[in-house]
């Protein structure tokens, strides 16, 4: 277990790093670099614990916390967000210090009571409320639906630290605790994936909330997230990225994602890609087999793209399971301002495009046409048709 680390003169990271964890939110999110569950101790005239850690580490976390501090000297507990990965050890902690007040939003109280059956001294806070610690103050900012209804952030003046909870985080169990101590490529990608796969549905709220926080004219020297590294070197870089990502973000990229049984749909994807390259040679084209890559990886690349094509053959009056799941993910994340169409091969039942197009109706993507299908395997004529389909799709993005 990583030793606790000083963040500033009065703040110490007292979290857990789990480099062995590979999946999150059940089996939904692929996290190949592990994650951290960040908790923070603020020492002033009053002592505050900000958030706890996931329940499976509660025993060792509390034992290590006892080595750092007499638990009875913790004056307040601040719960910025009460999803079980942050509140999972709260029950065990409250058995140790049952009379310690818990500061959270009104929705936080509801969630804590529902999940943990805790009857504690709750102190409900809202945006602008201040907790006086002595020489320093902790100011609360509600972050409703970023990404739960109870979410909030806390700002420590004097040291100019924003405890942002899930906002600005990433699943990265790095060896270094700070953003200038880790692999920048991994950090940037995992931050983007975190946004694309968790926060994207709340993009309009994120823009308004960031504008509100910036409007408070707070000096921010560090951003202490609930997952991943702490942003201490140029911390506002991640805020600037969020402002881009929440504004219908897209790069000059097209994803062609497909699943295939006997390679016919794969061959279609390759010919379509050739057609796109003919019209738009500078565009980055990604061919991704949805069955051979994690759903979160594919969704992240779709989030980055200006266009996406979905392909599957027909199987038992439906499409292949990986493609069906991917389309469900796209629907839930609400990606916007991206063009799309369907393609796929079939034998005696051409229902595949109907199924894909029906799914696309429930997304926020722009369907440019009804798609293209090929019977059995490709020949010279059908390859040419797929090539032309790619040309037409690329042209539709420049019109």
Per-residue pLDDT of 11-57, as tens digits, reads 999 999 999 999 998 888 999 999 999 999 999 999 999 999 999 99
Q: How confident is the model at residue 147 (pLDDT cuts 50, 70, 90)?
A: confident
Which one is catalytic: 166, 190, 259, 295? 166
Which one is catalytic: 76, 194, 249, 346? 194
Beta strands 161-165; 222-225: pairing state: parallel
> Which of 87, 117, 84, 124 has its CA nearest to residue 103?
124
Q: Does residue 399 carry a pLDDT above 70? A: no
Q: Does residue 342 carry a pLDDT above 80? A: yes
Q: Does residue 216 carry a pLDDT above 90? A: no
Which one is catalytic: 18, 30, 44, 83? 83
373, 350 Cβ separation under 8 angstroms: yes
**Four-CA torsion 217, 220, 225, 228, nearest 10 degrees:** 140
* 25 in active site: yes
Distance CA 80, CA 305 (A): 33
Distance CA 258, CA 394 (A): 18
Q: Which of the residue ranges 116-120, 275-279, 299-303, 334-338 would you say has the lowest mean pLDDT? A: 116-120
User: What domains are there in the chain, each with its CATH number?
Assistant: 5-245 (3.60.15.10), 253-398 (3.40.50.360)
Which one is catalytic: 147, 150, 172, 295? 147
Which one is catalytic: 25, 132, 240, 384? 25
* 227 in active site: yes
* 85 in active site: yes
Residue 3's pLDDT is what? 82
Residue 105's pLDDT is what? 97
Q: Does residue 258 carry a pLDDT above 80? A: yes
Which one is catalytic: 85, 142, 150, 259? 85
* 147 in active site: yes
Average of per-residue pLDDT across 76-99: 95
What is the value of pTM for the model shown? 0.94
* 121 in active site: no
Which one is catalytic: 86, 116, 171, 227? 227
Residue 380's pLDDT is what? 93
* 81 in active site: yes
Q: How far is CA 171 from CA 28, 143, 214, 392, in A?
A: 13, 20, 25, 39
SS3 for 202-242 is HHHHHHHHHHHHHHCCCCCCEEEECCCCEECCCCHHHHHHH
Per-residue pLDDT of 176-198, as tens digits, reads 999 999 999 999 999 999 999 99
Percent of the chain with pLDDT over 90: 90
Percent of the chain with pLDDT over 70: 99
Q: Does residue 152 carry a pLDDT above 70? A: yes
Distance CA 359, CA 291 (A): 18
* 259 in active site: no
Average of per-residue pLDDT across 204-219: 90
Which one is catalytic: 33, 51, 76, 81? 81
Work out the mean pLDDT of the chain and round it to a whole number: 95
């Amino acid at each position: 277990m990583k030793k606790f680390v000083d963040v500033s003169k009065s703040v110490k990271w007292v979290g857990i790093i789990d480099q062995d964890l590979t999946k999150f939110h059940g089996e939904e999110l692929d996290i190949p670099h592990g994650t951290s569950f960040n908790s923070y101790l603020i020492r002033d005239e009053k002592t505050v614990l900000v958030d706890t850690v996931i329940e499976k580490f509660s025993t060792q976390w509390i034992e290590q916390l006892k080595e750092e501090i007499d638990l009875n000297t913790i004056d307040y507990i601040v719960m910025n967000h009460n999803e079980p990965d942050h509140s999972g050890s709260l029950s065990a902690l409250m058995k140790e210090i049952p009379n310690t007040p818990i500061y959270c939003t009104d929705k936080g109280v509801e969630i804590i009571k529902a999940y943990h059956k805790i009857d504690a001294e709750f102190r409900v806070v809202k945006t602008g409320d201040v907790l006086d610690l002595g020489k320093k103050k902790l100011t609360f900012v509600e972050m409703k639906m970023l990404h739960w209804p109870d979410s909030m952030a806390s700002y420590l003046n004097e040291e100019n630290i924003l405890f942002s909870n899930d906002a600005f985080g990433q699943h990265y169990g790095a060896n270094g605790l700070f953003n200038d101590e880790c692999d920048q490529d991994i950090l940037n990608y995992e931050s983007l994936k975190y946004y694309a796969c968790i926060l994207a549905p709340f993009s309009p709220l994120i823009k308004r909330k960031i504008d509100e926080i910036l409007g408070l004219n707070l000096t921010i020297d560090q951003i202490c997230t609930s997952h991943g590294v702490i942003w201490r070197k140029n911390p506002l870089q991640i805020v600037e990225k969020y402002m881009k990502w929440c504004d219908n973000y897209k790069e000059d990229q097209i994803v062609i994602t497909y699943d295939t049984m006997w390679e016919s749909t794969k061959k279609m994807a390759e010919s379509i890609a050739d057609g796109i390259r003919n019209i738009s040679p500078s565009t980055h084209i990604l061919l991704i087999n949805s069955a051979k890559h994690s759903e979160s990886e594919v969704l992240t690349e779709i989030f980055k793209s200006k266009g996406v094509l979905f392909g599957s053959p027909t199987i038992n009056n439906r499409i292949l399971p990986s493609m069906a799941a991917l389309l469900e993910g796209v629907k839930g994340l609400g990606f916007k301002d991206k063009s799309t169409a369907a393609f796929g091969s079939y034998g005696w039942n051409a229902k595949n495009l109907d199924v894909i197009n029906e799914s696309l109706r429930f997304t926020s993507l722009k369907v440019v046409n009804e798609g293209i299908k090929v019977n059995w395997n490709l020949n010279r004529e059908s390859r040419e048709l797929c090539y032309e389909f790619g040309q037409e799709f690329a042209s539709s993005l420049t019109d």
